Amino acid sequence: MKKLSGGSKRRGLQSLFVLAVAIAGLFMIFRLFGADEQQTLNTLQKLDSGWYRMEDGGPVPVSEDEAIPFGEDGSVTVYRPVSSAGTITTRAALYRVRMYLDDVEIYCFDDSAFPCNDQMRSKIHCDAGLRNLTSGSVLSITYFQNGPAELEMPPVYFGTSGDVLLAHITDEGFTLVLISMMMLCAIAAMGVSIYLALNHILDNRFLDITIFLILCGVWCFCDSGLARYFSHMSAGVEGISFYCFMTLGIPFARLVANTGSIRKHASVHIVTGSFFVNVVVQTILWALGVADFIEMLPVTHVLLAAGILVCVVQMYREYRQTRGRQLAILLAAFGIVGFSGTLALVLYWMFAISFYGVIFELGILGFIVLLMGYLCVELVDSLRYKAELQVYERLSREDSMTGLQNRRSFDEYLQTLVEALEEDTDAELLFLDMNDLKEVNDRYGHKAGDELIIGAAQCLKEAFGAQAVCFRLGGDEFCVVIPLPKGEKADWRNNLEKTLERYNRSHRVRISLAVGSSMLLDENGYPKSLSDWKQEADLQMYEGKKKMKQRMQGAGGKEYGV
């Protein structure tokens, strides 16, 4: 598999960025050019005729798109006969609308519990049920002046309560899909964060990403008209929306601070601290009745804009120094969400548009697309790092020639075993040394000696199996630890002798082992110290080696086996 060049990587990132922007653009076009209006028309009846207003004591027809001047009291009331029960809905909260059926109030917009501004009111659905109609029932809607001297009457729709609810859900379809994507991405980021924590890999960025996406998702929902519809303009929902919006910059800045060497720059930490201070100060001022959250919203907007700018600049500086692939993806993601957020703020205050949230949501969509790519890259890198770490750990504890564990593992294992065994539990320690390995090396070469060492290791593993742990201590020295010995000592000795006999019958250079053993418990049932335990087994091994040499001299030839 060919390694991608730097140019190929850059082209890949550029393509990913263009794809994210293209998707965001398509959603924007779909959202802004009448898709929601058409969806609403498909399920509801638009009441665009039959309206009139009273002037000089008589009715005056009101046509669609007609500009109606407000009266001296700053209000306009329009009337329409109704004959069918159902639900009417209109986005007229901007005019603090009130609705009446036969002079009985059936709806009154009221945001006194948690004041909203014009941009927020323009997204609110005003719904009223038409019940207990008579043959001459008349619906009247009163609009109160909000700036312009003339009223452009917002469209009024009629349908069943189910149709109205479906229309509201459809109207917020893009937001709901986006929220779902945020939560799925948050779950993925949380999963990676938990995985890294369980594998002792320190990386707080995934936790920051999780918190940021959850805050964005909750804010997007609570700021939508659908949430206000279900909560009946609950102050609690509005409060959650404001707090999520005020705090979403905190994990944003923390994520940047935890990337590369950006943490050494004080500016990012100042940004994080300013978000905390803003939340605390606004809470105190609101609790004391000094100001409402809506009046302090510009402060939050300024802090967010300044914080995003500082974070993006610091990430760009870091990228120029490292040119890291992951950092490039993050920089593109934060660039998109930063640009969309800044643009949304400008449109929010300069043009007072109602779809300011859509601009920011589109930016978050691009952020998610790139972020998922970043998560995949980071997860692969983390898995590779973990695998390399495991290989390194295994190599540091494993003898490369035989595959047995090495002296370091032997010392650690022995210490752990002694601490873990109960007081009356025994264990057996075997020290083994190969006879005449130097002679084999001198006569046949070191390659033959190495093969003999490997053969001895294979015989030990075959003879003892799962009941023991085998080690190569170095050179021609081996060790076997039997944690819970079963049977007599002759049992493992016979198994080992048979295994060596099978090996020696099929190989030109044969194996001879000297073995010494020691039990952990002494004759009184008390455990020996580690040093005494090892020394006893070592002395037994050299005693066995001495006896084997004596037998060899008496027999006039070499003995092979144990």
pTM of the full predicted structure?
0.63
> Average pLDDT, stretch 473-480?
90
Statement: residue 357 has pLDDT above 50:
yes
Structure tokens at 491: 């049992």
Statement: residue 426 has pLDDT above 50:
yes
CA distances 219 to 237, 299, 372, Å, are 10, 18, 21
431 and 537 belong to one structural domain: yes
Q: How confident is the model at residue 29 (pLDDT cuts 50, 70, 90)?
A: very low
74 and 192 belong to one structural domain: no
In this structure, what CATH number is given to the domain that contains residue 51?
A: 2.60.120
List for the chain the helix, strand, coil content (%; round to 5). 60, 15, 25
CA distances 347 to 120, 343, 344, 518, Å, are 13, 6, 5, 84
Return d(Cα 202, Cα 193) in angstroms, integer: 9
Statement: residue 207 has pLDDT above 90:
no
Which residues form the domain of 359? 6-33+172-392
179 and 243 belong to one structural domain: yes
Statement: residue 30 has pLDDT above 50:
no
Percent of the chain past pLDDT 70, that is, above it, reads 85
Sequence-separated (6 or more) residues with CB below 8 Å from residue 352: 118, 119
Statement: residue 374 has pLDDT above 60:
yes
Contact 145, 75 (CB under 8 A): yes
Identify the pLDDT of residue 530. Answer: 87
> Average pLDDT, stretch 23-41?
46
> Average pLDDT, stretch 136-146?
93
> Average pLDDT, stretch 381-408?
77
Residue 23 lies in a domain: yes
Identify the pLDDT of residue 100. Answer: 95
28 and 48 belong to one structural domain: no
Statement: residue 326 has pLDDT above 70:
no
Identify the pLDDT of residue 559. Answer: 54
Q: How confident is the model at residue 12 (pLDDT cuts 50, 70, 90)?
A: low
Higher pLDDT, 454 or 22: 454
Identify the pLDDT of residue 40. Answer: 44
Q: Give me the chain's average pLDDT, please.
A: 82
Listed residues 135, 162, 189: the one ending a domain:
162
387 and 456 belong to one structural domain: no
136 and 269 belong to one structural domain: no
56 and 185 belong to one structural domain: no
Residue 38 lies in a domain: no
CA distances 269 to 172, 255, 262, 273, 311, Å, are 36, 11, 10, 6, 10
Q: Give 144's Cβ-side CA count (13 Å radius).
A: 10
Question: Which residue type, as a one-letter code, is found at position 125?
Answer: H
Identify the pLDDT of residue 353. Answer: 62
> Average pLDDT, stretch 499-509?
89
205 and 156 belong to one structural domain: no
| Total tally of structural domains belonging to the chain | 3
3-state secondary structure of 92: coil
Q: How confident is the model at residue 242 (pLDDT cuts 50, 70, 90)?
A: very high
3-state secondary structure 97-160: CEEEECCEEEEECCCCCCCCCHHHHCCCCEEEEECCCCCCCEEEEEEECCCCCEEECCCEEEEC
State the DSSP code for 63.
-
Listed residues 100, 128, 162: the one ending a domain:
162
A 10 A CB-CB count for 132 gives 10
Q: How confident is the model at residue 19 (pLDDT cuts 50, 70, 90)?
A: low
121 and 241 belong to one structural domain: no
In this structure, what CATH number is given to the domain that contains residue 270?
A: 1.20.1070
**Strand boundaries in 422-527, DSSP class E:** 428-434, 469-474, 477-482, 513-519
Higher pLDDT, 402 or 259: 402
Residue 397 lies in a domain: no
Buried b or exposed e, range 134-158, using 16+ CB within 10 angstroms: eeeeebbbbbbbeeeeebebbbbbb
Give the ranges where 465-557 is alpha helix by DSSP (H). 489-505, 530-555
CA distances 67 to 24, 58, 95, 151, 501, Å, are 35, 19, 14, 5, 108
Listed residues 366, 392, 418: the one ending a domain:
392
3-state secondary structure of 480: strand
Q: Which of 20-29, 296-305, 331-340 has the lowest mean pLDDT?
A: 20-29
Higher pLDDT, 389 or 127: 127
Higher pLDDT, 38 or 112: 112
Q: How confident is the model at residue 354 (pLDDT cuts 50, 70, 90)?
A: low
Structure tokens at 187: 């779950």
CA dihedral 324, 326, 332, 338 (to 10 degrees): -110
Residue 184 lies in a domain: yes
Percent of the chain past pLDDT 90, that is, above it, reads 25
Alpha carbon 506 to chain centroid, angstroms: 58
Residue 529 lies in a domain: yes
Contact 278, 329 (CB under 8 A): no
Q: Which of 268-282, 345-359, 383-397, 514-528 has the highest mean pLDDT?
A: 268-282
200 and 315 belong to one structural domain: yes
139 and 211 belong to one structural domain: no
Q: Which helix (H) or strand (E) holds 61?
A: strand 58-61
Return d(Cα 74, Cα 150) in angstroms, integer: 10
Residue 503 lies in a domain: yes
Return d(Cα 477, Cα 433) in angstroms, integer: 5
Higher pLDDT, 113 or 130: 130
Buried b or exposed e, range 506-531, using 16+ CB within 10 angstroms: eeeebbbbbbbbbbbbeeeeebbeee
Predicted confidence (pLDDT) per residue in 152-184, tens digit: 899 999 999 889 988 888 888 878 888 888 888
Residue 402 lies in a domain: no
Statement: residue 98 has pLDDT above 90:
yes
Statement: residue 554 has pLDDT above 70:
no
Statement: residue 465 has pLDDT above 80:
yes
210 and 261 belong to one structural domain: yes
Question: For residue 325, which phi and psi values (nearest 5 degrees)?
Answer: -65, -45
